[in-house]
Amino acid sequence: MLHLLAAEPLHLGHVDYVILIIYFLFVLGIGFVLKRFVKTGDDFLLSARSVPAWICGLAFISANLGAQELIGMGASGAKYGLMTAHFYWLGAIPAMVFVGVFMIPFYYGSRTRSVPEFLKLRFDEKTRALNACSFAVMTIFSSGASMYALAALLEILLGWNFHASLVVSALIVLCYTCLGGLTAAIYNEVLQFFLIVLGFLPLALIGMKNVGGWSGLVAKLNGVAASHQPTALAPGTWTSVGQHLSSTSANPMGVDWFSLLAGLAFVLSCGYWCTDFLVIQRALAAKSMGAARRTPLIAAVPKMFFPFIVIVPGMIAIALMYATQHGASWSHGFEIPAGNDGKPNFNMATPALLGHYFPQGMLGLGLTALMASFMSGMAGNVTAFNTVWTYDIYQSYINPRQSDRHYLRMGQFATVFGIGLSILAAYFASKFNNIMDLLQLVFGFVNAPLFATFLLGMFWKRGTGHGAFWGLLGGTVAATIHHGCTLPKYTAAGAKGGWLVRAGHAHIYATDMQQAFMTAVWAFGCCFALTVIISLLTRRTKSDEELRGLVYSLTPKVVDESPNWYARPGVLGVAILVVMFALMAWFW
């Protein structure tokens, strides 16, 4: 009964290829047209601060959306149900509001060209070097992971040659980012955003109709909950976001309120949205301070509603599979394809649903949208990489005091070798899948403490470079140690944790999600404490005057120049939070 999708790839018709080709022609065309406007390094790497807020906002969310989010969120929707929405609600919206209202004034106002450069302005060179190097490595591996995932998916879904898919997708991204720079990447991200919405919204709508609307979905998912292994879960655990968080055993994700709020909502989400140059870069491209502050706020609006496009299909998929396994005929034998271990491969939930409902035509659109999401992730990582490489590594340490034209050329060259390295990383991922998971883990260790560093940097003038550097390093080490001493339930020690202690002595968490959240809390806490202690023990290297514009207490309050009260970042921020809470209450 289980269909191995590898055995029966989806059949594309001529119309699907036409749709695909139209999309790629426009993506490349935008790169060619924008080439004329790229005259300086700033144009290429920073868009010369000239982009309107709404474009930056959509690029902000689209660059983040890339990689495996469409696939991964569908998988999580199948595995954990609507609680996955917390990655979009509690785990994103407050952080996005915070960065727009409180942190962008320092990023944009300091006229820094990158996040590592901000660390240099605020702290010192070694802190910048630490962040720049780890970020550069991270972006290459993230880009490579996207490429690998895309090529692997296309091979399974369509039977396309893995190597050809990899190289062609890399060449397309290379083409438009090398020609048009950051602006081409941003424009294409806006295109990709709408394509993703238009490609996946009908999937969610049709699926909802098929299962009998929201109440029908709830009823079917209660059946899924009841058959959950190893212990049955209460009705509503797959479709409510707040009711079942009192203990880790009460919900499919295996988390509780503390780890959700402290781990996800606070540390992990702020660690990403407030410090990751991939998204901050899009805000820095905005044409004014007001536009820059509004960028994450504008991005927060579609972000809130994305669960309905990316998570609900996963929930529908598992409901359908449950129905099939219990003999229903209306699900037409749909099942989530099995992986190599015989268990359902949840990453195939959304693609399988695509193949189940979409005839040729829409199928082409859906697949194009899927490819677009991967490519926006690749392009986002590459543009972030080439800026950090050119300004924070090359210009700072290797070859300073060259002409702007020299750095423009270097930026373009960095795009080429960045993509080349990403391809290597993609092959590395295909050979050593476990190592890639390990690398993602390591990056998590690096990201989690970063928010502590920035919080202290922007809001505490006593923070010193020594404190920041050792705090960052210490937080990363703390995360690693915590991982080595803990394990999710029913997991053997090794890549998943517990490698630092003797067998049976690891602290057990309910799920790997819980472990990840608590690791983040530890990393943040240690970094914060270390940074404070070492800062107090070391002398300040920067005077108040040098820190003006970089620290809250030393900066004149940002006067919002927009004439309309409703466009003020503070007002927008509050409105967005109200809507988020309303959504959470509705699906409580």
Partner 1 sequence: MDLDVRLPMGIMFVLLGAVLAVYGAVSDHRVYEKSLGININLWWGLVILAFGFLMLLLAWLGRVSGRTTTPTIKPGERERPGR
Rule CB under 8 A: which residues touch partner 1? 15, 18-19, 22-23, 26, 29-30, 33-34, 37, 39-40, 42-43, 47-52, 55, 110-113, 117, 120-121, 183, 187, 190-191, 194, 198, 202, 206, 209-210, 287-288, 332, 356-362, 365, 391, 395-396, 404
Element (H, E) at 488: strand 486-488
CB closer to partner 1 out of 43 and 155: 43
CB closer to partner 1 out of 197 and 416: 197
- 99: closest CA among 386, 285, 264, 299? 299
Q: 417 is written with which tokens?
A: 């070798």
d(CA 83, CA 243): 10
Q: 214 is written with which tokens?
A: 């929201």
**What minimum distance in Å lies between the beta carbon of 482 and partner 1?**
36
d(CA 2, CA 337): 6
d(CA 462, CA 55): 37
For residues 220 and 322, the answer to whether their CB atoms sit within 8 Å is yes
For residues 185 and 200, the answer to whether their CB atoms sit within 8 Å is no
**What minimum distance in Å lies between the beta carbon of 176 and partner 1?**
12
CB closer to partner 1 out of 217 and 264: 217
CB closer to partner 1 out of 158 and 167: 158
**What minimum distance in Å lies between the beta carbon of 172 and partner 1?**
15
- 585: closest CA among 228, 92, 240? 240
Instruction: Tell whether the torsion through CA atoms of 523, 524, 525 and 527 is positive or negative.
Output: positive
Q: Which residues contact 167 (CB under 8 A, 6 or more apart)?
A: 423
**What minimum distance in Å lies between the beta carbon of 524 and partner 1?**
28
Burial of 567 from C-beta contacts in 10 A (0-12 / 13-18 / 19+)? middle
For residues 65 and 307, the answer to whether their CB atoms sit within 8 Å is no
**What minimum distance in Å lies between the beta carbon of 76 and partner 1?**
25
Number of neighbours of residue 341 by Cβ within 10 angstroms: 7
**What minimum distance in Å lies between the beta carbon of 475 and partner 1?**
26
Query: To 10 degrees, what angle do helices 125-158 and 433-459 make?
Result: 140
CB closer to partner 1 out of 120 and 482: 120
**What minimum distance in Å lies between the beta carbon of 396 and partner 1?**
7
Q: Does a cis peptide bond (omega within 30 degrees of 0) precede residue 230?
A: yes
**What minimum distance in Å lies between the beta carbon of 36 and partner 1?**
9
**What minimum distance in Å lies between the beta carbon of 55 and partner 1?**
6
CB closer to partner 1 out of 326 and 332: 332
CB closer to partner 1 out of 167 and 301: 301
Q: Which residues contact 542 (CB under 8 A, 6 or more apart)?
A: 122
CB closer to partner 1 out of 4 and 22: 22
CB closer to partner 1 out of 192 and 237: 192
* Burial profile 179-192: b = 16 or more Cβ within 10 angstroms, e = fewer: bbbbbbbbbbbbbb
CB closer to partner 1 out of 339 and 361: 361
**What minimum distance in Å lies between the beta carbon of 384 and partner 1?**
17
**What minimum distance in Å lies between the beta carbon of 51 and partner 1?**
6
* Burial profile 459-497: b = 16 or more Cβ within 10 angstroms, e = fewer: eebebbbbbbbbbbbbbbbbbbbbbebbbbeebebeebb
CB closer to partner 1 out of 194 and 257: 194
- 457: closest CA among 116, 76, 226? 116
Which DSSP string corresponds to 105-135? HHHHHTT-SSHHHHHHHHS-HHHHHHHHHHH
**What minimum distance in Å lies between the beta carbon of 287 and partner 1?**
6
CB closer to partner 1 out of 23 and 524: 23
- 146: closest CA among 344, 416, 376? 376
- ∠414-415-416 over CA atoms, to 5°? 90
CB closer to partner 1 out of 332 and 507: 332
- Give me the phi and psi of 399, to 5 degrees please: -150, 75
**What minimum distance in Å lies between the beta carbon of 417 and partner 1?**
22
Taking each continuous run of H as one helix and of E as one strand, the counts in the chain are 24, 2
d(CA 276, CA 283): 11
